[in-house]
Every structure is written in structure tokens, then in C-alpha cells.
Amino acid sequence: VRFPEDLEDDNTTFNPEYSHQVFGDDEVAFGYKGLKILLYYIAGNLSTLFRIEYTSKVNEKFDCVEADDVESKIREIIPPGFCTNTDDFVSLLEKEVNFKPFGMLLHTYSVHNEEAGEDITYQIYKADMTCPGFREYHERLQTFLMWFIETASFIDVDDERWNYFLVFEKYNKDGATLFATVGYMTVYNYYVYPDKTRPRVSQMLVLPPFQGEGHGAQLLETVHRYYMSSPTVLDITAEDPSENYVKLRDFVLVKLCQDLLCFSPGKLVQGFSQEMVMEAQQKLKINKHHTRRVYEILRLRATDMGDAEQSRSYRLDVKRRLIGPYKKKQRELAKMRRCLRPEELTNQLNQIDLNMQHEQLEESFQQLVSDYRRVLERLAQA
């Protein structure tokens, strides 16, 4: 909500992707007809208005059952101090002009908005719990995780090893410049013996009204650039990354790596090298596993897949990596031959069908090439 009229505007409304963490696996609130759970957030500081509406509700006389206590379920997520009255909420909205982003400004960028016919400015900040008012703001911000990340949980904000990166949109209201929350990322700094840290991306969310505009890529690249300047950082990882996050990371890391000398077309055709691992880690804080994916994507760009020899060379190179798990199975099988009785061995062999392995390998390769092509298409448009 930026303006009072937004309260009645369906265009500013978005629905949760998940509600199982609040309402159970069936995502059902029992005992209501026409139930609406209404959560309004002021765009900048995220002050909250919470209301429940319904046309009717079962009572205990109806088969001795009670309706679910929806209000207490929501209260468990949203921090205290929220409004239940629209007038109180609108009066808070008038004070929004005083809200300013927390922490240190890291990056400013603009995105062209077709609907508005103008460029809109966005800023990325790094904050921590010492910033006045940030703890309370973060309590409100993290409530979105429950609705948009499938396995979300709230973090221990008293642990000083957390870093917070925030994206804000700058907009004008009655001649003043205001800020709207776009998204954020939390990063935990793990200790690596003897004197390094390994930042691990924990949570990353761009709010639905802003998705598909490139903010995730801007945020991840900014975070990488922030840590790149630190001599104590070993490399950057992610905790249990989603499929969409992996695609985003592929794009950002390829964009960062493509100008390194070790990834020049002449070096790429010679195969994956220790030089690539060293340079990507030292200059960009990228680990070996992610560097290998970057190499495969950039080598695909440097390969003429219409040329039989080049195509075969690329396919074999990628499949040699993909075959690792299958090779492990073969080693396990060799051990079984020495240890198992014939009938037990037959049972294990039935589970390791070589033809099926070849089919799975080819399927994995084709899927990978398809994903890599999408990264390269996006890179060409960037």
C-alpha cells in the first residue's frame, strides 16, 4: 500500500503460493463460508493491517465441532503492534514519508517500466541488527517467507554472523521521494579454518509484484561483488537452493566470469582446468562445483553444435562429469561381486540396468543443455 486508494485496488493484491506452514498440508481453514484473510502492508516500513471477513461460521451446536481459530494462526506469524482498524492504518501511511532504507547503500540501478513509460530507480542496501528500527522492520519483512518459500523458517537474529541485503524502489508521492520494499536476502557467514569465512545464502525473496523484472539477478550480483572485496572470504554457497535459484545463480556467475582470461574461447576448448578453479575462486569467490557449471555453459556458447566433431567433444566432456554417480555404482557392484552370494548379487544387478543408465545419462545431458541455452539467451539480452 502506497496510497489510501490501494486498499481497495485489486491490482495491488497478491495471493500466497503456500499456506501449508500455517494451515497444514491440506491448506484448509475449516468452519467458514466466504472466508477472507486480509493482510495489508505499507510499502516501505511494512506496518501491517490484519482483518478477517466471512459470511458465516459454524458454531458448537453444529455436530459439536468448532471452526479453526484462524486469527491465532496468523498472529503466530505477524509480530504484535499491527493495526485492526483501517483509519489507524491510513494515519500510519501519512508518516511513510519519514521512512528511509536501513544500512549502507551498495548499488543503484534502474529498470524501464513499460506501463509507466519511464525508468524506475532501485537501490540495494546492506543492513544489520545495529541499525535503529531494523529489528522490528525485519520481523514484519520475514512474514512473507511463510507464504512464498516452501520450507521457510525464521532465523535467529541475535546471531551476529547474519548479513541482510535489501532492495528498495524509489518513488514519488506529492513531490517527496519515498521507498518501497522490493525484496531481500539473508546470508550466514560460516567459519572456515583457520582464518576464512564462507558466506551461505539462506533466504532470498523478491515480492510478487516485482518478480520477472531482474531484481533477483541484481541482488545476487551485488552480494557477490560485496564479498569479492573481502580477503577473508573463501567462497559463496547457498543453503538448499531451489531450481529457480540455481538458474538465477548460473546466469549471474556466467555474467561475472565471461570476461576472465581463463574462460576465453581458446581456453574453453582445451577443457576444464585448475586455472579456472583458482581464478574464479580468488577473483569472484566462486567454488569449484559452480565454476564447473560456468565452464560448461560458456563452452556451449563457444561450441558449434552443428559441427559433428565439436558437438561430440562437448557431449563427452559433460557426460564424463555426469557419469560420476554411475561410476560409483559400478565400484559398489565390484565390491558386491566379492562379498555377496549369487542370488543376492542377481537381486542387486537387477537394480543396476546399464541400458537404463545410458538413457538417464542422455536425458540428463539434454536437460542440462536446454537449461544452459536459456542462460545464454538471457545473457545475450542483458
Q: Which is nearest to 147 in space by CA: 13, 297, 249?
A: 13
User: In 3D, which of 166, 222, 162, 206 has the Cα closest to residue 187?
Assistant: 162
**Which position among 27, 239, 332, 344 bears the catalytic label?**
239
Q: What residues does each domain of the chain span?
A: 4-96, 98-300, 320-381
Reduced to 3 states, what is the DSSP secondary structure of residue 178?
strand
Burial zone of 342 (CB within 10 Å; 0-12 exposed, 13-18 middle, 19+ buried): exposed
Q: Which residues of 174-193 are buried (b: 16+ CB within 10 A; e: fewer)?
A: eeeebbbbbbbbbbbbeeee
Give the H/E segment covering residue 166. Answer: strand 162-173
| 239 catalytically annotated | yes
Contacts of 186 (CB under 8 A, 6+ apart): 155, 162, 163, 164, 165, 201, 202, 203, 204
Question: Is-above-0.85 flag for pTM?
Answer: yes
The DSSP-derived string for 223-270 is: HHHHHHT-TTB---EESS--HHHHHHHHHHHHHHHTTSGGGSHHHHTT
CATH superfamily of 4-96: Histone acetyl transferase 1 (HAT1), N-terminal domain (3.90.360.10)
**One pLDDT digit (tens) per residue for the chain, 382 residues:** 999 999 999 888 999 999 999 999 999 999 999 999 999 999 999 999 999 999 988 876 666 778 899 999 999 999 999 999 999 999 999 999 999 999 999 999 999 988 878 999 999 999 999 999 999 999 999 999 999 998 889 999 999 999 999 999 999 998 999 999 999 999 999 999 999 999 999 999 999 999 999 999 999 999 999 999 999 999 999 999 999 999 999 999 999 999 999 999 999 999 999 999 999 999 999 999 999 999 999 999 999 999 999 999 999 999 999 987 665 656 666 665 667 666 665 665 555 566 667 788 899 999 999 999 999 999 999 8
Q: How far apart are the first and last CA of the chain?
A: 31
Q: How many helices (DSSP H) and strands (DSSP E) are in the chain?
A: 14, 10
* CA-based max dimension of the chain: 83
As to burial, measured by CB atoms within 10 angstroms (0-12 exposed, 13-18 middle, 19+ buried), residue 234 is: middle
* C-alpha grid cell, residue 320: 564424463
What backbone torsions phi and psi does residue 41 show, to the nearest 5 degrees?
-125, 135
Q: How is residue 83 annotated by DSSP?
A: B
Q: Which fold has domain 98-300?
A: Aminopeptidase (3.40.630)
